[in-house]
Amino acid sequence: MELGWLLWGAGVLLLLHVLMELSPAVNFALRIGFYCLLCVVGSALAAPVCLLVNGGRTVKNMRIIKTVVKTFKYFFGVRFEVKGLENFEVEGPAIIVSNHQSILDMMGLMEVLPDDCVQVGKKELMYAGTVGLIIYLGGVIFINRKSTTSAKMVMAEVAKTMAADKVPVIPVVYSSFTTFYNPKKNLFTSGKIKVEVLPAIETKGLTSGDVSDLTDRCFRTMRETLFRLSGCPSEAKDSS
């Protein structure tokens, strides 16, 4: 009986392998499914550890979460080339903004996220099962982002906070994923992501009237860096 189950399992794995080789759509679906499964299982395993070590909801739990998520890249052959981590070394608080591209962003974020950094996420994530639970335990602040659909609009709201509290903003830019991850083309393979932490942009002395200019400056700086890191402006533009 055990031999029969082993043969049946081996046959299924062989069939999946053949389908992945022959069909990009099947390959993409299986890899995305496995990524989602890792998120669910990883969250379920990390949640009890967070509760035991830190006792509940706190940003300190992000250390545990980062340790778990940083293992994901090995399953998918994703490599990160990180530069500029020294730019996180600023006095006092700062606001970190990064470019959003896909569900793979989480892996890149965990590669560079400083300790004691409070994140902001859309409130819908709270209801994502064990993933929502671990995000909650990590001290993420949930907001309604339905009215801010573009990257520029999101940075506009961040800029208002910067102008009010006079804290610097630190842009973090990830190169385009399109060479190895593109849902429109059912593409999901291994690849390298370049990450660059840019120098802090000071906001001291600014007023509410400077918000628009500050937003444009952040957007242009990050956009230019995205093009440079990606090495292909046309593709980088599509993913910004």
Instruction: Give the angle 62-64-69 at the CA atoms, nearest 5°.
Output: 85
For 2-239, CATH gives 3.40.1130
Which band of pLDDT confidence, cut at 50, 70 and 90, is reported for residue 41? very high
What value does the mean pLDDT take over residues 58-71? 94
Task: Report pLDDT for 147.
Answer: 53
Q: Quick check: 121 and 135 in contact, CB under 8 A?
A: yes
Q: Give the up-direction half-sphere exposure of residue 14: CA atoms within 13 A in the CB hemisphere.
A: 6
> What are residue 220's phi and psi, to 5 degrees?
-65, -45
Per-residue tokens: 196: 């660059």
What value does the mean pLDDT take over residues 48-55? 95
Per-residue tokens: 44: 């379920």
What value does the mean pLDDT take over residues 119-124? 79
Q: Which amino acid is at 196?
A: E
CA 212 to chain centre: 26
Q: Which amino acid is at 171?
A: P
Is it the case that residue 130 has pLDDT exceeding 90? Answer: yes
Residue identified by tokens 């965990």 is 110
Q: Which amino acid is at 37?
A: L
Q: Distance between CA 188 and CA 193 in Å, rounded?
A: 13
Top-confidence range, 61-75, 110-124, 196-210, 224-238: 61-75
Is it the case that residue 235 has pLDDT exceeding 80? Answer: no
